[in-house]
Amino acid sequence: MATRAKPSSRGRPSAEPEDGDPGAVKIATFNVNGVNGRLPLLLRWLEEATPDIVCLQELKAPQGKFPLGAIEAAGYRAVWHGQSRWNGVAILSRGSEPIETRRGLPGDDAESDSRYIEAAVKGVLIGCLYLPNGNPAPGPKFERKLDWFRRFTEHAATLLASGAPVILAGDYNTMPTDLDVHRPERWTDDALFRPEVREAFEGLTGQGWTDAVRALHPGERLYTFWDYLRTAWERDAGLRLDHLLLSPNLSGRLAAAEIDRHVRGWDHASDHAPVWISLTGEASSR
């Protein structure tokens, strides 16, 4: 696939699809940490990055307060699963209508948080998720996190069995390895890094999913989240919490995977940076 050089946050070019590949698609995930409060930042990034598909987390807006008008004015259609004050997920599609296929996980009830939405977009099935934080651990919140992870993994297995091309993108609130966390020795008892959570992530990817960012950056220390406290951004004391997992029938199309970490440095930024991948129209030879 032809690519063009684009400055990346690591000071070197990153690959981005050219228009010469009509089947190429760019998919991003972004925990926006309040879609209305950070709408100008989101719109600025959409204009700069021009992703084809975007998964958003932490909308922090009820269903009727999603800023659909502004999103559509930017060229995107959307489906979303809102919730007052907390949580909330959405899938945006540039120039086409996402077809919602599921809202919530199997086993959710009327009191469940808004943490999962699924839609068919541009020939791919997209699952957008916001996995619970789980702190303090151990405790009831941690047990709820593990239960949610278990039900999500079961649902992921059914998606694989369907044979559809699938991407599971979002904020997993999980650092899978020591490379995904600054000073890992300080996080051993945290719900984001406890052995049970890393084992759950390993069990999920063990079904056959490809961690897209790690597949293309196997030895790099990479972060997608920097806390507002303790000058974490300035010290680059981050965590890699945001992941895009590809079904086996998509892994051969993976052309690029990058983190737009410069967005974390913008005024009034989210504590997460957008993460994106590009897929070729056909399987690549990498």
Q: What is the three-state SS of the chain?
A: CCEEEEECCCCCEEEEECCCCCCCEEEEEEECCCCCCCHHHHHHHHHHHCCCEEEEECCCCCHHHCCHHHHHHCCEEEEEECCCCCCCEEEEEECCCCEEEEECCCCCCCCCCCCEEEEEECCEEEEEEECCCCCCCCCHHHHHHHHHHHHHHHHHHHHHHHCCCEEEEEECCCCCCHHHECCHHHCCCCCCCCHHHHHHHHHHHCCCCEEHHHHHCCCCCCCCECCCCCCHHHHCCCECCEEEEECHHHHCCEEEEEECHHHHHCCCCCCECCEEEEECCCCCCC
Q: Which of 52, 76, 116, 171 is catalytic?
A: 171
Q: Is residue 151 part of a domain?
A: yes
pLDDT band at 23 (very low <50, low <70, confident <90, very high): confident
State the chain's mean pLDDT as an integer.
Answer: 93
Q: What is the CATH number of the domain that holds 48?
A: 3.60.10.10
Q: Which of 52, 76, 116, 130 is catalytic?
A: 130
Q: Is residue 3 part of a domain?
A: no
Q: Is residue 244 part of a domain?
A: yes
Residue 22: per-residue pLDDT: 75
Q: Is residue 17 part of a domain?
A: no
Q: Is residue 14 part of a domain?
A: no
**Residue 130 is a catalytic residue:** yes
The residue segments making up the domain with residue 69 are 22-279
Q: Is residue 16 part of a domain?
A: no
pLDDT band at 21 (very low <50, low <70, confident <90, very high): confident
- At residue 1, does pLDDT exceed 80? no
**Residue 76 is a catalytic residue:** no
How does pLDDT run across 93-122, given as a tens digit for each residue?
Answer: 999 999 999 999 999 998 899 999 999 999
Q: Domains in the chain: how many in total?
A: 1
